[in-house]
Amino acid sequence: MNKPHGGKLIDKTVKKGKRPGIEKTDLVLQVDEDTAKDIRNIALGLYSPLEGFMNKDDYLSVIEKMQLANGVVWTIPIILDVPESKTKKIKIGSEVRLENSDMGLKAVLVVEDIYKHEPEKFSENVFGTTDRKHPGVALAYSREKTLLGGDIYLIEEGTNSFPEYNLPPAKTRKKFEEFGWKTIVGFQTRNPAHIAHEFIQKMALEFVDGLFVNPIIGKKKQGDFRDEIILDVYTQLVKNFYPKNSSFISIFPSRMHYAGPREAVFHAIIRKNFGCTHFLVGRDHAGVGDYYDKFAAHEIFEKIDDIGIEIMKVSAAFFCHRCKIFTTSKICPHNEIYRVSPSGTEVREAIIEKDYNKLKNVMRDEVLDIIFSHEKPFVE
């Protein structure tokens, strides 16, 4: 398996007796679910080598150079914003208790830096636009203007979404060892599988020992598929349509950033930390609307230093009536009129209209049965 990004799998969980009294600080900040997931992801090593929320030097370096201040490649700022009213008592060196009461999560931040968020600069560099219709830009401008940086310590992990699928890197790495896998390809998804996705995943299995299906589970934009549908679909596929002992599902609990090429790099780093040696990057990876060139997520890997995971770049897959097989635009010589590959928008419209004819060459009947069993398959 791969070494974690930066060479070490971070563990910021507080063992009993290690830091007595750390949770007794009077400074308390309630955080939302997305921030709670970031805290957990830092503490359990998904975001290795990060040990906390970014300080100003790392924040600016990631925005401007796509690397941490120490030169390690990193593309998405991981930040903690705080209301102005809460900053009056917080100073460098303060210990702030971070809590999410609904999840039961408790952590402590040791404040190392207090600085200002720059939403315009952030958005222009990370998303390539300041258009507030872009969901990532909208979030950037909605954040508080003050950011806190510093190491975090996880005291109580609390409850997690889909716990049977929610394995941290230490456990996925152990699973891969138990399976005897030395080479593992990670697959990022926020959709139930098309047959074309199956084709890509199974072709990748020709070159590696195992497939790690790692859907992102968390906040998504309106119109995206609900988390439980994605998991139900892949559980069905792995059980009934994938080679035995070739595939494993665990989730990446996080929001979607919709940062296109930068998020493709971020996703690759996360899967490297899970233990993957390879990562599939498709056309318009983590894109939204028409903000990014369809192959920008491929091209960005030529612009950054080697991040220590093999990137398997794949073009769009579809069924070709002339080839009579599932194939890709790189190897199919035929005109688009022979290709069955509806856009995500077309698929959603067909699902709403229950148009089986439009979907029959795109999704398996078993997948459609799962989708149609849900009254509301999409995020509203």
Mean pLDDT (the chain) is 93
Q: What is the pLDDT of residues 17-49, one digit of tens each?
A: 566 556 567 899 999 999 999 999 999 999 999
Residue 380 falls within a domain, yes or no? no
The verdict on 143 and 188 lying in the same domain is: no
| Residue 109 contacts residue 52 (beta carbons within 8 Å) | yes
Q: What is the pLDDT of residues 289-304, one digit of tens each?
A: 999 999 999 999 999 9
CATH of the domain at 312: 3.40.50.620
Element spanning 168, H or E: none
Residue 16: the pLDDT is: 64
Residue 297: the pLDDT is: 96
Assigned token pair, 221: 């934009």
Rounded CA separation 286/334 (Å): 28
Rounded CA separation 100/83 (Å): 16
The verdict on 20 and 70 lying in the same domain is: yes
Average pLDDT, integer, range 318-330: 90
Of the three residues 156, 182, 202, the one that is the final residue of a domain is 156
Provide φ and ψ at 17, rounded to 5°. 85, -10
Average pLDDT, integer, range 157-176: 94
Of the three residues 156, 175, 206, the one that is the final residue of a domain is 156
Residue 377 falls within a domain, yes or no? no
The verdict on 144 and 240 lying in the same domain is: no
Average pLDDT, integer, range 58-72: 98
Residues marked active site are found at 190-191
The verdict on 151 and 174 lying in the same domain is: no
Assigned token pair, 171: 């456990």
CATH of the domain at 89: 3.10.400.10
The verdict on 109 and 196 lying in the same domain is: no
Domain count across the chain: 2
Portion of the chain with pLDDT greater than 70, in percent: 97
Give the domain extent around 283.
163-372
The verdict on 97 and 214 lying in the same domain is: no
The verdict on 134 and 198 lying in the same domain is: no
The verdict on 295 and 349 lying in the same domain is: yes
Predicted structure pTM score: 0.94
The verdict on 121 and 143 lying in the same domain is: yes
